[in-house]
Amino acid sequence: MDGTAEHYGRGMRYGLIALVFFGTVLAYVDRQVLALLKPTLEATFQWSDEDFAHLGSAFSLAMAGSVFFSGLLVDRFGVRRAYGWAVAIWSLAGMAHAAASTVTQFVVARVTLSLGESVAGPATVKTTAQYLPLEERSVGLGIIATAPSIGAIVTPLVIPLIAVWFGWQSAFLVTGGLGVLWVVVWQISTRKLDVGAARKAAPQAGGTAWRELLTDRRTWAITGTKALADMVWWFMLFWIPDLFSKVFHLSQAEIGGPVALTYAMAALGAMASGLLFPALLRRGFSLNLARKVSMLAFSVLILPVTLALEMGSPWQAALLIGLALFAHNGFVTNIFGLTADIVPLKRVATVTAMGSVAGNITGMSMIEFAGWSLTNGHGYWPMFAVASLAYLAAMGFLHLMIPRIRESDGDGAEG
């Protein structure tokens, strides 16, 4: 660390983490609204499964195209400015969905949403790396990593009811409006982030040496591992509401409960990861062993996910899918922690962004694969089979690229 974390009191550090947490919750609320309204929008606009898949892949493709540059922007301009503007953009784009009436108009709104949300991942990891000391990072990341799941829990419980009571357009207007309110609070609460210690960190964060970045095995270890894990998350986030509708024949109003259960379990996975890693360190495990044992444990937990399709009850299926999402969040929280541990601070946001690019590309592929599989009568089992083995593959790739994990000394070398 460069002293930045020590400059801020514990209360201020965790106030910042709380704001990032709520910003991430809003991001995933905005992402999931479309998936939850699929039955209504499908009936209203006569969409096919492939039309719906194209909307999801357009979001992922735009995210993949922009998130790398978002990482550079966060490294260049700092968390406060980059994240504040990003939330403003995606909130207004979310509200714009209410005015859409064609697939093309939804795609435009969706792409704009993704441009703003592409900043969230790099900003989150940059925040923890820059403002939290090593012993607090895993807990901070664990807290923030529960945010996608919290958003995914709240959304199915609230959005279908808003849509039924006030119309589907209201769901987009309410969620986007909450984002605008968050921006106001962010701007007021983070005025001191760009002065004092944060400014001292700016010279270090000012540029990226491309040769060092692209020839560093740590860069590709993070990128490849994230690509294999994220494709499962994007598939689940976009298609799980439809699975409960098609496979278990739940109505728009009935979908919320099982979907919320799956993401409640996902939130527990993020917290479990944030607690497990430091617990292993306290027991005397090395950084290398603590990270890899933790990640391997989560990789094994996802193996039985294919059995969800054989369950006779949507709640039984939700438990197995929830276990898979528990494992995913535990695994990915370790990836974020690993990035903050081993990547030099000046490149943290950029490397995080590269992982997000790769994850969005593989996620887009899984979303399109699901659309093709459903349209051609193959159902959900091919995607679930891929999901069950993806994390063991990611674990193997990480170990191949980094046989021994060591903490970065901050300037590009491993300590």
* Residue range 71-96, pLDDT digits in tens: 778 878 888 888 889 999 999 999 99
Is 335 a member of any domain?
Answer: yes
Res. 194: pLDDT tops 70: no
Is 406 a member of any domain?
Answer: no
Res. 299: pLDDT tops 90: yes
132 vs 325, higher pLDDT: 325
Is 408 a member of any domain?
Answer: no
Is 225 a member of any domain?
Answer: yes
The 3-class SS string of the chain reads CCCHHHHCCHHHHHHHHHHHHHHHHHHHHHHHHHHHCHHHHHHHHCCCHHHHHHHHHHHHHHHHHHHHHHHHHHHHHCHHHHHHHHHHHHHHHHHHHHHCCCHHHHHHHHHHHHHHHCCHHHHHHHHHHHHCCHHHHHHHHHHHHCHHHHHHHHHHHHHHHHHHHHCHHHHHHHHHHHHHHHHHHHHHHCCCCCCCHHHHHHHHHCCCCHHHHHHCHHHHHHHHHHHHHHHHHHHHHHHHHHHHHHCCCCCCCCCHHHHHHHHHHHHHHHHHHHHHHHHHHHCCCCHHHHHHHHHHHHHHHCHHHHHHHHCCCHHHHHHHHHHHHHHHHHHHHHHHHHHHHHCCHHHHHHHHHHHHHHHHHHHHHHHHHHHHHHHCCCCCHHHHHHHHHHHHHHHHHHHHHCCCCCCECCCCCEC
Is 412 a member of any domain?
Answer: no
Instruction: Give the CA dihedral 300, 378, 243, 239, nearest 10 degrees.
Output: 80
Please give the mean pLDDT across all residues of the chain: 84
From residue 47, how far is each of 38, 54, 56, 64, 207 by CA, in Å?
9, 11, 13, 25, 45
Nearest 5°: phi and psi at 238? -85, -35
Query: Quick one: pLDDT at residue 196?
Result: 36
Split into its structural domains, the chain has a count of: 1
Query: Quick one: pLDDT at residue 9?
Result: 61
pLDDT over 90, % of the chain: 35
pTM of the shown model: 0.70
Is 409 a member of any domain?
Answer: no
- Structural domain span for residue 132: 4-401
Is 87 a member of any domain?
Answer: yes
Q: How many CB atoms lie within 10 A of CB 313?
A: 10
Is 154 a member of any domain?
Answer: yes
Distance CA 261, CA 231 (A): 21
Query: Quick one: pLDDT at residue 366?
Result: 93
410: confidence class by pLDDT, cuts 50, 70, 90: low
Q: How many CB atoms lie within 10 A of CB 9?
A: 9
From residue 115, how far is each of 68, 288, 368 by CA, in Å?
11, 35, 20
Range 224-248 average pLDDT? 91
Query: Alpha carbon 410 to chain centroid distance?
Result: 25
387 vs 114, higher pLDDT: 387
Residue 182 sits in a domain of what CATH number? 1.20.1250.20
Query: By C-alpha distance, which of 252, 247, 367 is closest to 316?
Result: 247
